[in-house]
């Protein structure tokens, strides 16, 4: 029995190419199943093939990828409504564009305008706060005098500091409010243009997204490697069997001449070959059925390859010289 040939490892590029082809096929199938034409009361959504794109795989193989076009067609009423909306948005965009010309001269003046409005508002607010705090200060000083708190004393100074802080907070708040109001007034033309622009955005017709029909891709690479692993396991098993046969036959070689005539044997089963010569398991005719199986050649087959290794004994049955037979088949 000659040694079996080891399986050839799968080519990584061929494996990658096979996996790429499977992946592309799955992707195309998923895309085709997902492109479901839609018919709605507002109109239709249809998909059509628009040619192909060529993709080259890792091993140089070319694939044709379909290019799909989705077309939305509205009915008369929906189309008219859509056109009106588009026209309205165009008008808003045109108005915003015309108003934006004004900003070229307006923006450089915004800081001065803000300061002017801020000053005016602060002035108006101060006219209300000044008399109020004058009255409150007079009342505070009178109350402290009636309580026997003398001007310049620690208690006097503490009360006046607290009053001054309250007054300062009120004027600061007045200034902040005035600044915010001034900014709003100055920014109003800008905000108007921004509102016009936001209303002029082009909107797309609403279509229902298709539920994708998922198709899992076949793991070709995994199957190829799994098959190679199985071949490798079979190879190991065959090698083990071959080594066992070789060991057994070479052991027979040391026994010199063995009775190998087919007529002397029973339960004959071919279990392998060694360089074209059959190797058999058997029992001799005189052995019990439960006797251990023997292993060896058949004399009639050895004669065809190494005639000098076979001779006929006095009983008329053929014997094989295993040393010569093994030498002949090398």
Question: Phi/psi of residue 14, each to 5°?
Answer: -65, -40
Q: For residue 252, what pLDDT is reported? A: 52
Strand 38-40's sheet: what is its strand order?
Answer: 38-40, 43-56, 62-74
189-248 pLDDT per residue, tens: 777 667 756 665 555 555 555 555 566 777 877 878 788 778 777 767 655 655 555 555
Query: Rounded CA gap, 220 and 288, in Å?
Result: 53
**Domain chopping of the chain, boundaries:** 107-198, 225-329
What is the pLDDT confidence band of residue 309, given thresholds at 50, 70 and 90? very high
Is residue 106's pLDDT more than 50?
Answer: yes
Give per-residue burial for 166-205: e unless 16+ CB within 10 Å, then b: ebeeeeeebbeebbeebeeebeebbeebeebbeebeeeee
Query: Rounded CA gap, 204 and 93, in Å?
Result: 17
262 with 299: CB under 8 angstroms?
yes
Long-range contacts of 37-44 (CB under 8 A, 24+ apart): 38/207, 38/208, 38/210, 40/208, 41/75, 42/74, 42/75, 42/78, 42/205, 43/72, 43/73, 43/74, 43/75, 43/78, 43/79, 43/205, 44/72, 44/73
pTM: 0.38
Q: For residue 254, what pLDDT is reported? A: 47
Is residue 258's pLDDT more than 50?
Answer: yes
Q: For residue 134, what pLDDT is reported? A: 92
Q: Compute the average pLDDT of residues 280-305.
A: 94
Q: Which secondary structure element, helix H or strand E, spans residue 63, and what is its range?
A: strand 62-74
Q: For residue 285, what pLDDT is reported? A: 95
The pLDDT mean for the chain works out to 80
Q: What is the DSSP letter of 309?
A: G
Q: Compute the average pLDDT of residues 97-111.
A: 67
128-173 pLDDT per residue, tens: 889 998 998 899 889 998 998 998 899 999 998 998 999 899 888 9
Query: Rounded CA gap, 35 and 229, in Å?
Result: 40
Q: For residue 1, what pLDDT is reported? A: 42
């Amino acid at each position: 029995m000659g040694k079996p040939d080891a399986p050839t490892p799968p080519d990584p590029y061929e494996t990658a190419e096979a996996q790429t082809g499977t992946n592309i096929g799955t992707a195309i199938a998923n895309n085709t199943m997902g492109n479901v034409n839609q018919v709605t009361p507002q109109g239709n959504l249809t998909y059509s093939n628009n040619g192909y794109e060529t993709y080259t795989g890792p091993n140089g193989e070319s694939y044709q990828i379909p290019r799909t076009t989705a077309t939305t067609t509205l009915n008369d009423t929906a189309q008219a409504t859509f056109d009106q909306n588009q026209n309205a948005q165009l008008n808003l965009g045109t108005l915003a564009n015309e108003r934006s010309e004004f900003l070229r001269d307006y923006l450089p003046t915004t800081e001065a305008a803000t300061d002017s409005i801020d000053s005016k508002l602060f002035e108006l607010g101060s006219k209300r706060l000044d008399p109020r705090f004058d009255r409150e200060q007079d009342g505070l000083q009178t109350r402290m005098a009636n309580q026997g708190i003398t001007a310049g004393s620690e208690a006097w100074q503490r009360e006046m500091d607290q009053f001054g802080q309250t007054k300062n907070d009120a004027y600061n708040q007045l200034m902040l409010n005035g600044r915010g109001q001034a900014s709003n007034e100055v920014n109003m033309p800008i905000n108007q243009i921004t509102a016009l622009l936001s209303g002029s955005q082009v909107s797309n017709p609403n279509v229902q997204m298709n539920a994708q029909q998922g198709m899992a891709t076949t793991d070709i690479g995994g199957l190829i490697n799994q098959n190679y692993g199985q071949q490798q396991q079979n190879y190991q098993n065959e090698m083990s069997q071959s080594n066992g046969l070789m060991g057994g036959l070479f052991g027979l070689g040391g026994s010199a001449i063995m009775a190998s005539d087919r007529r002397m044997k029973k339960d004959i089963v071919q279990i392998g070959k060694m360089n074209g010569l059959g190797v058999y398991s058997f029992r001799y005719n005189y052995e019990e059925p439960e006797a251990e199986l023997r292993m060896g050649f058949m004399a009639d087959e050895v004669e065809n390859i190494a005639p000098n290794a076979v001779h006929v004994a006095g009983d008329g049955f053929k014997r094989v010289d295993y040393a010569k037979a093994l030498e002949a088949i090398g």
